[in-house]
Amino acid sequence: MMGTAVACPTYLSSDDLDMLTRIFANHCQAFGIAAGPEQDDVARLIMRLFISGIDDANYIRAALASRPVH
């Protein structure tokens, strides 16, 4: 039996996507994180932060800097 799909209540606009992409790219470049599992972890954390309601770029950057993802 297949699970029921649940719609995510978070709307992701093109501006949001641009912001999240910039945060991701800048963070990975700043910490020398190459493509692979560690980048995947960073991407997941950024999305978890955004979905939890943190939608300000500065707050997301601060949260990334305070976590041992890198």
Structural domain spans, the chain: 14-65
Q: What is the pLDDT of residue 48?
A: 94
d(CA 70, CA 65): 9
Contacts of residue 70, Cβ cutoff 8 Å, sequence gap at least 6: 27, 31, 33, 38, 42, 64
Q: What is the pLDDT of residue 37?
A: 94
Q: What is the pLDDT of residue 24?
A: 97
Mean pLDDT to the nearest integer, 21-49: 95
Q: What is the pLDDT of residues 23-34, one digit of tens each?
A: 999 999 999 999
Instruction: Give the pTM.
Output: 0.80
Q: What is the pLDDT of residue 50?
A: 94
